[in-house]
Amino acid sequence: MTDALEIRNLRKVYAGGFEALKGIDLTVRRGDFFALLGPNGAGKSTTLGIVSALVNKTSGQVRVCGIDQDRDPEGVKRMLGVVPQEFNFNDFEKVHDILIQQAGYYGMEKGLARRNIEKYLRQLELWDKRNDQVRMLSGGMKRRLMIVRGLIHEPELLILDEPTAGVDIEIRRSMWAFLERINREGVTIILTTHYLEEAESLCRNIAIINRGEIITNTTVKELLLQMDRSSFVADIKGDFGRVPADNPYLMQLREDGSIQFQVHRGDNLNQVFELFARAGIEVVSLRPRTNRLEELFVDIVQADQPQPDGAVIRQPAVAGGNV
């Protein structure tokens, strides 16, 4: 079976001369739940914009479900559902009208359109809002409405550019459950997000893009296996000054009085507890400093910073890093 998305040597130079994509390659298999991660301005939206025909590419190839974007642009669009990063509604239109209209652009008969609209509005808890103008919806509701709009024609590949930005945690959880469900039902999903917890819990495969280049492309599992250390935060009772400063765990006192430390792969947390115990310190609670993926992400992106002489040192931040 053909891949859901195949990007070959994709370049984008914006009108001002800025090179936002420097010839990227990316493959997303059918049925995948794929995360495209990267810091602000990395080129995520540019990439997804080109796939969804909202941005002109400078060169390169894009194929969706085996269809070449240059040969059959309409064919590609039929396969795609697009949820952009920025709201792009006419604020004075009503929810239901927008969706009927969108279904019309996809050539859907009204009856089928109405059924899908009701199904997805109910699933994303917007059915009560169907007769409201968009301007009366909250930000989180607009995000969900964009998802309904992108799904109305039942696409093969759903592209979500920061679908959960500004959405409260409860709704975010229910959106995750919804996305997992449609993914199980066969829709391939690509999303960008700055919440790495989201990528970790939803996605199977990940690409990290930085300054217009893909610097990592692997499975979430493998990426996490590559982690050679984890950071923890411990709340303690006792005098931190009594812990020997030359310990191998890079212990630091944080502003709130808790202790931050790192444990390398193969190290044993018991050793850390012993160290505390010897200093007469009680460990009251312990938690990971950040989400694991977040820690990796920061490492990988930091290792990709340009050096003063302009060269980029691509030293793998993590053992076996696919950089």
Binding to another protein by residue 18, rule CB under 8 A?
no
Count of residues interacting with ligand ATP (CB under 6 A): 13
CB 31 within 8 A of CB 46: no
What is the residue type of 10?
L
- The least CB distance from residue 212 to ligand ATP, in Å, is 7
Indicate which single residue of 109, 185, 246, 309 sits in contact with another protein (rule: CB under 8 A).
109
- The piece of 35-43, 112-120, 121-129, 279-287 that touches ligand ATP (CB under 6 A) is 35-43
Instruction: Please identify which residue in 2, 9, 18, 271 interacts with ligand ATP, judged by CB under 6 A.
Output: 18
Report the amino acid identity of residue 253. Answer: L
42 binds ligand ATP (CB under 6 A): yes
CB-nearest residue to ligand ATP: 45
Q: Which stretch binds Mg ion (CB under 5 A): 83-91, 114-122, 224-232, 297-305?
A: 83-91
Q: Does 291 bind ligand ATP (CB under 6 A)?
A: no
- How far does Cα 257 stand from its chain's mean position? 33
Q: What is the DSSP code string of 40-103?
A: TTSSHHHHHHHHTTSS--SEEEEEETTEETTT-HHHHHHHEEEE-SS----TTSBHHHHHHHHH
Strand order in 213-219's β-sheet?
80-83, 157-161, 188-192, 33-37, 205-210, 213-219
Q: Rule CB under 8 A: is residue 77 a binding residue for another protein?
A: yes
Q: What residue 54 binds from ligand ATP, Mg ion, another protein, none (CB within 5 to 8 A, per partner kind)? A: another protein
| Site for another protein contains 139 (CB under 8 A) | no
Q: Is 138 a residue that touches another protein (CB under 8 A)?
A: no
Q: Nearest approach, Cβ of 181 to ligand ATP (angstroms)?
A: 26
> Does 70 sit near another protein (CB under 8 A)?
no
85 makes contact with ligand ATP (CB under 6 A): yes
Residue 178 exposed, middle or buried by CB count within 10 Å (0-12, 13-18, 19+): middle
Greatest alpha-carbon pair distance for the chain in Å reads 75
Tell which residue, 183, 110, 182, 102, has the closest CA to residue 145. Answer: 102
Count of other CB atoms within 10 angstroms of residue 16:
5
> Do the bridges between strand 188-192 and strand 157-161 make them parallel or antiparallel, or are there none, so unpaired?
parallel
**86 binds another protein per the rule CB under 8 A:** yes
Half-sphere exposure of residue 18, counting CA atoms within 13 Å on the CB side?
A: 9
Task: Give the interface segment with ligand ATP, choosing from 12-20, 92-100, 248-256, 262-270 (CB under 6 A).
Answer: 12-20
- Residue with the shortest CB distance to Mg ion: 45
Q: Within a 10 A sphere around the Cβ of 262, how many other Cβ atoms?
A: 18
Which residues, other chains included, contact 200 with Cβ-Cβ below 8 Å and sequence gap of 6+?
A: 220, 224, 291, 292, 293
Find the part of the chain contacting another protein (CB under 8 A) among 101-109, 219-227, 233-241, 304-312: 101-109
Q: Cβ 160 to ligand ATP, closest distance in Å?
A: 12
Q: Which stretch binds ligand ATP (CB under 6 A): 38-46, 235-243, 251-259, 275-283?
A: 38-46
Can residue 85 be called a binding residue for Mg ion (CB under 5 A)?
yes
Which residues does 246 contact at the CB level (< 8 Å), separation at least 6?
Answer: none
Residue 194 contacts Mg ion per CB under 5 A: no
- Chain residues that interact with Mg ion, rule: CB under 5 A: 44-45, 85
* Site of interaction with ligand ATP (CB under 6 A): 14, 16, 18, 20, 38, 40-46, 85
Residues near another protein, by CB under 8 A = 14-15, 52-56, 73-75, 77-78, 80, 82, 84, 86-91, 93, 98, 101-102, 104-109, 149
